[in-house]
A = this chain, B = another copy of it.
Amino acid sequence: MIRVGIIGATGYAGAELVRLLLGHPEAEIKWYGSRSYVDQKYASIYQNMFQLVDDKCMDDNMEELSRQVDVIFTATPQGLCASLVNEDILSRVKIVDLSADFRLKDVQVYEKWYKLTHKAPQYLPEAVYGLCEINREQVKKARLVANPGCYTTCSILTCYPLVKEGLIDPDTLIIDAKSGTSGAGRGAKVDNLFCEVNENMKAYGVATHRHTPEIEEQLGYAAGKPLNLSFTPHLVPMNRGILVTAYASLTPGATQEKIRAAYEKYYGKETFIRVLEPGVCPQTKWVEGSNYVDVNFVLDERTNRVILMGALDNLVKGAAGQAVQNMNLLFGLPEDMGLALVPMFP
């Protein structure tokens, strides 16, 4: 039985970790960390857990925590994990960090986009970017996994095969992403009130959203060269779900068949990535509550562009589900253990 500690257990991603781990046959949560709710019963914060979780919330003591568990999930704001991690801790436990602290290899890029000083840049080289389908083997050997962002997971997985196979010109890549509101977290802000979000839609963080360099770095590896792309997130009135619509110009020789073959090549054997049948557009509801990413594409001969589409549940494959998938890899368990979640519709 893997003993688990969660720092940041009362955010939405932390709560989703709890939901998933309660159904995981080989994991047991030992520590519900939440600085804001220390000593309060976890189930009083998330009443859906009533009679399922009896524990109280604990303070953020990573030192102590690292002696009690096998793996720590940090579902906390940027900067916290980097400020707490050290060699001593890493010698005792695996860490899956759901924040952005170890996602970008270049500390200057991190500090520029996040406007934070990185407290532990020495671990950037060893941290593994935990996009399981792409970096599976490295994750298995890691001590520190940087769990990808929600927009990032959806964007990269949607575009990866075409970039990797050179079927699109990466410099023409434009990613228009739409997200449910749980991605904005549980902080009490006017902008996230029901009446502000409901029956409303907007772009935000235009040309400045922090997931941009993360997508660029990873797709750059696939392209074999650095790239710049446009990424625009939007807020839509729903709880869960990210939909990515990406546009790129085709390279000479790219065809419907080659594109489908590329998806098949990289995802054909993947449990959690479903390449939909031709003509079927992904819908976020079809993956809700599950660890799936649904992807598909339309080739538009009129414009010589391909339109790529991907959908996932931002709290599952975009956060907690992928974190559990990484945990499974770290501990040599079947990758889908605890993640055989059938999407809920409606």
Binding site for B on A (CB under 8 A): 12, 15, 19, 22-23, 46-52, 174, 176, 178, 180-182, 186, 188-190, 192-204, 206-207, 228-230, 232, 234, 236-241, 243, 245, 247, 274, 276-277, 280-290, 294, 298-300, 302-303, 305, 307, 309, 311, 340, 342-346
Q: A188-B190, A198-B194, A300-B230 are in contact. Are A309 and B206 (CB under 8 A)?
A: yes
B344 and A289 contact, CB distance less than 8 A:
yes
Known: A48-B344, A174-B247, A176-B247; 9 extra A-B contacts, CB below 8 A, are: A19-B345, A47-B276, A50-B277, A174-B174, A186-B193, A199-B288, A200-B285, A202-B284, A237-B237
A19 proximity list for chain B (CB < 8 A): 342-345
- CA gap between A198 and B184 in the complex, in Å: 14
Contact of A188 among B23, B193, B204, B281 (CB under 8 A): B193
B194 and A178 contact, CB distance less than 8 A:
no
A12 proximity list for chain B (CB < 8 A): 195, 346
- CA gap between A239 and B257 in the complex, in Å: 38
Contact of A230 among B51, B307, B311 (CB under 8 A): B307
How many copies of the chain does the oligomer comprise?
Answer: 4
A178 proximity list for chain B (CB < 8 A): 178, 201, 234, 236
A342 proximity list for chain B (CB < 8 A): 19, 22-23, 48-49, 52
A51 proximity list for chain B (CB < 8 A): 274
- CA gap between A288 and B344 in the complex, in Å: 10
Q: A47-B280, A284-B201, A342-B48 are in contact. Are A195 and B176 (CB under 8 A)?
A: no
- CA gap between A277 and B41 in the complex, in Å: 12
A-B contact pairs, 29 of them (CB 8 A): A19-B344, A47-B283, A48-B287, A50-B277, A178-B234, A178-B236, A181-B195, A181-B198, A188-B193, A196-B285, A199-B285, A200-B238, A200-B283, A201-B241, A202-B283, A202-B311, A203-B282, A203-B309, A204-B281, A206-B281, A206-B298, A228-B302, A228-B303, A230-B303, A232-B245, A232-B247, A247-B247, A289-B289, A289-B344
Within the complex, what minimum Cβ distance (angstroms) separates A258 from chain B? 18
Which B-chain residue is minimally distant from A305 (CB atoms)?
A: B230
A236 and B236 contact, CB distance less than 8 A:
yes
- CA gap between A203 and B29 in the complex, in Å: 32
Contact of A48 among B174, B181, B193, B345 (CB under 8 A): B345
A245 proximity list for chain B (CB < 8 A): 176, 203, 232, 234
Which B-chain residue is minimally distant from A173 (CB atoms)?
A: B303
Within the complex, what minimum Cβ distance (angstroms) separates A262 from chain B? 18
- CA gap between A340 and B196 in the complex, in Å: 23
- CA gap between A303 and B281 in the complex, in Å: 28
A243 and B247 contact, CB distance less than 8 A:
no
